[in-house]
Amino acid sequence: MFKKILVAYDGSAPAGQAFDLALDLAGKYGAALRVLAVARPPEFGEEVETEAILDNSRKHLHKALKRLKDRTAALGLAVDYEVVIGHPAERIVIHAEEWGADLIVIGHRGHGLMTHWLLGSVAKQVMHHATCAVLVTR
């Protein structure tokens, strides 16, 4: 059913649940699995500040992905990992389309109701714009 599964990962507990579910599904369906982490640039800031923030974000994400790489290597699974820069929902949807993903697995952060209404969520934006199936974990 699924041949290519993309999982969005930011190092949070919900992202960890999404990864575990995507790993299970990839095993059951014999699907290729790709983990995508998105470093989000700040809304405002000087070029030097922005570059420093992005550098720290990339380092954090690579460190978080290393833990996943160690887990999958111990299981003998081949998983692709990638860190990109941009707005998370936009980059996830674009990456899924370019890679030809059949399924996007993403964790739900569980922000408060007001924050969710005012800002929306990455998961909600991905669900609305993705051209493939989206599975949101809670």
| Residue 13 included in any domain | yes
Tell which wins on pLDDT, 17 or 44. Answer: 17
Mean pLDDT of the chain: 86
Indicate whether 112 belongs to any domain. yes
105 phi and psi, to 5 degrees? Answer: -115, 130
Q: Domain range holding 99?
A: 1-5+7-34+79-120
Asked whether residue 4 carries a pLDDT value surpassing 60, the answer given is yes
Residue 14 has pLDDT above 70, yes or no: yes
Domain for residue 134, yes or no? no
- Mean pLDDT over 96-100 rounds to 97
Asked whether residue 44 is domain-assigned, the answer is no
pLDDT band at 47, cuts 50/70/90? low
- Domain tally for the chain? 1
Q: What is the pLDDT of residue 110?
A: 53
Could you tell me if residue 59 is inside a domain?
no
Cβ(103)–Cβ(133) below 8 Å? yes
Query: Would residue 135 count as lying in a domain?
Result: no
Residue 130: inside a domain, yes or no? no
CA distances from 1 to 29, 31, 101, 102 (A): 7, 9, 12, 8
DSSP assigned state of 100: T
State the pTM of this model: 0.85
